[in-house]
């Protein structure tokens, strides 16, 4: 025997996910169905007629180039939650990155390289690359960053951006174009140069490369296209929706900090907030036996 309670539940479930017959075919009503012919649709994207990266034209007349670009535009446009997060974070971090790129003489478009490398987060890759610019330990040290168990300046957005700029200018000088410099950020300068010689080629778009490097510059270009024209690609938001940078003041010191949590309290913030604004401080102390000069960022009053 089926109880009245169980019968009620059964009919309720049938009511929620009910079956109807339409034009002789079985139709299942789901959350993806809509009424009055306003059905959910996914549209193909119209490719731009002209695109450039660092003022270097993308050869969109070539069919393989168009397909590779189309793929990255589709993937990044229809991964809506991720792209919206990138747009929100960019409002917070791009001003800092843009200022340094300009000061270092590196094209502004390279801010989108940081986007595809880390999604503008201080992440760590399985291979050990860290920070917005995903620098490996030896590369970071080669370009002037401190990396040890106490301090990791790959997590210092200003210093890591300057280190990335040094690499990119060196790659541009060696390889001849900013597009190839961008590709080398993924492949390496030597690896990119070797493929140019091996294939008797002069530019990125004529190279046959591994799948990751083959996609790499197109991902940068696609993200640039969408993030610079978000409404055109369906991303709607108010300025108030975007993440904001927190004004900070810098505390300079050339001594050790025995306990960073206690140091934070003395500056009227807590350990969490100090670490948010200084993620390059790895431990709860700063050894500083060499008496190196550091600047600790402390948020202005009233933002927490």
Question: Are residues 231 and 270 located together in one domain of the fold?
Answer: no
What is the predicted pLDDT for the residue at 24? 46
The beta-carbon contacts of 265-271 under 8 Å, at least 24 apart in sequence, are 267/298, 268/301, 269/298, 269/299, 269/304
Q: What is the CATH number of the domain that holds 118?
A: 1.10.530.10
Specify if 1 maps to a domain.
Answer: no
Per residue in 28-43, pLDDT (tens digit) is: 444 445 556 667 888 9
> Residue 3: inside a domain, yes or no?
no
Same domain, 223 and 75: yes
In terms of domains, do 227 and 278 share one? no
Tokens standing for residue 90:
């960019």
Q: Are residues 176 and 199 in the same domain?
A: yes
Find how far residue 161's CA is from the centre of its chain: 14
Average pLDDT (55-76) is 98
pLDDT in tens, 44-58: 999 999 999 999 999
Determine the pLDDT at residue 140: 98
Residue with tokens 């050869």: 59
- Domain assignment present for 8: no
Confirm whether 162 is domain-assigned: yes
Q: What are the backbone angles phi and psi of residue 297, rounded to the nearest 5°? A: -85, 125
- Single residue among 202, 222, 241 that ends a domain in this structure: 241
For residue 161, tell me if it sits in a domain: yes
Query: Which one of 202, 226, 241 terminates a domain?
Result: 241
Instruction: Tell me, yes or no, whether 78 lies in a domain.
Output: yes
188 and 154 in one domain? yes
User: What's the pLDDT score for residue 40?
Assistant: 80
CA torsion through residues 230, 98, 134, 123, sign = negative
Q: 232 and 150, same structural domain?
A: yes
Domain shared by 252 and 130, yes or no: no
Using the predicted structure, report yes or no on whether residue 293 has a pLDDT greater than 50.
yes
110-123 mean pLDDT:
98
Asked which of 241, 273, 291 is the last residue of a domain, the reply is: 241
> What does the longest C-alpha to C-alpha distance in the chain come to?
83
Provide mean pLDDT across the span 90-102: 98
What mean pLDDT do residues 64-93 have? 98
Range of the domain at 274: 248-299
72 and 220 fall within a common domain: yes
In a domain, 11, yes or no: no
108 and 228 both lie in a single domain? yes
Average of pLDDT values for 54-75? 98
Pair of tokens at residue 115: 């986007």
Give the pLDDT of residue 297: 98
Same domain, 140 and 109: yes
**160 and 126 in a common domain:** yes
Tokens representing 227 are 């993030």
Using the Cα atoms of residue 222, residue 226, residue 229 and residue 232 in order, give the sign of their dihedral.
Answer: positive
pLDDT confidence of residue 38 = 67
Domain count of the fold of the chain: 2
pLDDT of res. 8: 52
* Mean pLDDT of the region 201-230: 98
Same domain, 75 and 207: yes
Dump the DSSP string for the chain. ---HHHHHHHHHHHHHS-EEEETTEEEE--TT--STT-----PPPPPPS--EETTEE--TTSHHHHHHHHHHHHHHHH-HHHHHHHHHHHHHHHHHHHHHHHHHT--GGGHHHHHHHHTTS--B-TTS-BTTTTB-HHHHHHTT--BSSSBBGGG-HHHHHHHHHHHHHHHHHHHSSHHHHHHHHHH-HHHHHHHHHHTT--SGGG----HHHHHHHHHHHHHHHHHHSGGGGT----GGGS--PPPEEEEEE-S-BS-HHHHHHHTTS-HHHHHHH-TTB-SSSB--TT---EEEEEEPTT--
pLDDT at 37: 60
User: What pLDDT shows up at residue 75?
Assistant: 97
Q: What is the pLDDT of residues 2-29, one digit of tens each?
A: 454 444 554 444 444 444 434 444 444 4
Q: Is 49 part of any domain? A: no
Question: Mind listing the pLDDT tens digit for each residue in 258-290?
Answer: 999 999 999 999 999 999 999 999 999 999 999
Quick one: pLDDT at residue 149?
Answer: 94
């Amino acid at each position: 025997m089926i109880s009245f309670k169980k019968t009620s539940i059964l009919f309720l479930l049938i009511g929620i996910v009910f079956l109807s017959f339409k034009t002789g075919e079985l139709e299942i009503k789901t959350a993806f169905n809509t009424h009055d012919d306003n059905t959910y649709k996914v549209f193909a994207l119209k490719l731009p007629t002209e695109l450039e990266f660092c003022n270097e034209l993308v050869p969109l007349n070539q069919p393989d180039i168009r397909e590779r670009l189309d793929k990255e535009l589709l993937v990044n446009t229809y991964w809506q939650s991720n792209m919206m997060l990138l747009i929100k974070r960019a409002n917070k971090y791009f001003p800092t990155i843009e200022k340094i790129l300009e000061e270092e003489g590196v094209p502004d478009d390279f801010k989108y390289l940081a986007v595809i490398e880390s999604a503008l987060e201080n992440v760590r890759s399985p291979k050990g690359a860290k920070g917005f610019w995903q620098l490996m330990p030896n590369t970071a040290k080669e370009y002037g960053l401190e990396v040890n168990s106490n301090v990791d300046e790959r997590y210092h957005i200003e210093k890591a951006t300057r280190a990335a700029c040094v690499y990119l200018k060196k790659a541009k000088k060696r390889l001849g174009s900013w597009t190839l410099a961008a590709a080398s950020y993924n492949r390496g300068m030597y690896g990119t140069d070797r493929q140019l010689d091996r294939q008797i080629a002069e530019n990125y778009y004529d190279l046959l490369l591994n799948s990751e490097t083959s996609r790499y510059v197109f991902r940068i270009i696609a993200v640039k296209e969408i993030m610079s024209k978000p409404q055109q690609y369906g991303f709607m938001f108010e300025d108030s929706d975007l993440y904001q940078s927190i004004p900070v003041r810098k505390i300079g010191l050339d001594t050790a900090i025995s306990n960073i949590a206690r140091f934070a309290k003395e500056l009227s913030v807590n350990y969490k907030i100090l670490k948010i604004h200084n993620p390059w401080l790895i431990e709860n102390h700063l050894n500083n036996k060499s008496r190196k000069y550091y600047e600790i960022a402390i948020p202005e009053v009233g933002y927490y």
